[in-house]
A = this chain, B = another copy of it.
């Protein structure tokens, strides 16, 4: 009766998420959490969504409740294609779009579709822990390429590129966990570098719409590289609870294979939510809604940056994001953010230690802070607590 014997190597190889374990334990309302990646609830257009619900049930009736097709609601895919065409000069149709159960499912499907055991994958260093978790299930070899101030270190990428690299996973805008973005130059250079390579470039872009400084840059691969994938989501701009994300690829063969994997994984994503989000988008001014979220997050990130300037010891460094939800704090080399975590919990403030954003590194001297899910006063108080702890340690 040994469970260990029954389990797959795959699941033994899949790390449970540190963040989600924290979220489960940090129920004490006095704890200030910079750990999660939760959007501010005031960004959910609840009243408009309720109106949309009433409208779609009246208008589409049982179609909102019945089984549906794997690729996703054609109207929603059409909308997404048009939006990206307009914003980025692409030439997409609905067949270039697959609706997924949140972006996390897209990561899982990408692992499913491309990875045999020991295939090679390039990630940024550090990279998003949810992606590491999803890909880990398929037991690839990971290579992490340094993420610099302006994007991936292309010299290092060049040295590591070989025929066994199945895909390169990037978050070019306001990266999770660092908040860093790729410059225009790095984007162009990277596209040139990958032009003749038989590998897939993935641009995971949940935060691109949430740019509160500077202006939006083109994607690296879209319109340029044949095997290019963009991941998008409505989680950060409308609602994460509905779990509606999407995959864009100009290569329909990629979409077709991801669709087969999706069919085997959950048949299709919640069709009611697809109708709902589509109806919301066509009946409301989404750009205005997004600009409200951006104003809010700009204020909150400023509050965090100001508080860090005030309370953190001088040899603690941090990034200054131009958008998105996170920033990255680098501590003096001898300080492990993981080892410091229980002390932080005592002071009732939590963050995500750097470790889970790396493959096989421990006691990293860095942490990820989220600034979107607490008001400015709470942010100030939380950073103050963290600052006190850091001053004790340094």
The residues of A with any CB-CB pair to B shorter than 8 Å are: 1-3, 5-11, 14, 16-17, 20, 23-24, 36-39, 41-42, 44, 46, 49-50, 53-54, 57, 61-70, 101-102, 104-105, 108, 112-116, 119, 130, 133-134, 136-138, 166, 198-200, 226-227, 235, 239-243, 251, 253-254, 257, 260-261, 263-273
Q: Do A11 and B257 touch (CB < 8 A)?
A: yes
With contacts A16-B260, A20-B69, A265-B265 known, is A6 near B64, CB below 8 A?
no
Bound Cα distance from A157 to B290, whole angstroms = 59
Bound Cα distance from A198 to B6, whole angstroms = 8
Chain B residues closer than 8 Å to A10, beta-carbon distance: 112-113, 115-116, 138
Chain B residues closer than 8 Å to A115, beta-carbon distance: 8, 10
Which of B20, B50, B57 interacts with A46 by CB under 8 Å? B57
With contacts A7-B114, A41-B66, A67-B38 known, is A133 near B263, CB below 8 A?
yes
Chain B residues closer than 8 Å to A119, beta-carbon distance: 8
Chain B residues closer than 8 Å to A41, beta-carbon distance: 61-62, 65-66
A sample of 14 inter-chain contacts (CB < 8 A) reads A3-B253, A3-B254, A6-B200, A6-B227, A8-B113, A8-B116, A8-B138, A10-B116, A39-B66, A137-B261, A241-B270, A265-B265, A270-B273, A272-B273
Chain B residues closer than 8 Å to A54, beta-carbon distance: 50, 54
Bound Cα distance from A16 to B50, whole angstroms = 36
Shortest C-beta distance, A30 to chain B (Å), equals 20
Shortest C-beta distance, A377 to chain B (Å), equals 19
Count this chain's copies in the assembly.
2
With contacts A11-B257, A41-B65 known, is A133 near B264, CB below 8 A?
yes
Shortest C-beta distance, A242 to chain B (Å), equals 6
Chain B residues closer than 8 Å to A272, beta-carbon distance: 239, 241-242, 273
Bound Cα distance from A20 to B256, whole angstroms = 13
| Besides A3-B257, A104-B267, A243-B267, 11 other A-B contacts (C-beta < 8 A) | A8-B115, A10-B115, A11-B257, A41-B61, A41-B66, A46-B57, A46-B65, A53-B53, A65-B242, A108-B265, A265-B265
Chain B residues closer than 8 Å to A200, beta-carbon distance: 6
Q: Which of A67, A137, A266 has the most CB of B within 10 A?
A: A266
Q: Do A66 and B53 touch (CB < 8 A)?
A: no
Q: Which of A10, A36, A69 has the most CB of B within 10 A?
A: A10
The closest CB in chain B to the CB of A36 belongs to B67
Which of B38, B50, B242, B261 interacts with A53 by CB under 8 Å? B50
Bound Cα distance from A241 to B70, whole angstroms = 12
Chain B residues closer than 8 Å to A133, beta-carbon distance: 263-264
Chain B residues closer than 8 Å to A64, beta-carbon distance: 241
Bound Cα distance from A67 to B271, whole angstroms = 18
Chain B residues closer than 8 Å to A241, beta-carbon distance: 63-68, 270-272
Q: Do B113 and A260 touch (CB < 8 A)?
A: no
Q: Do B53 and A65 touch (CB < 8 A)?
A: no
Bound Cα distance from A59 to B86, whole angstroms = 39
Bound Cα distance from A57 to B41, whole angstroms = 13
Bound Cα distance from A6 to B110, whole angstroms = 11
Bound Cα distance from A242 to B101, whole angstroms = 12
Shortest C-beta distance, A286 to chain B (Å), equals 16
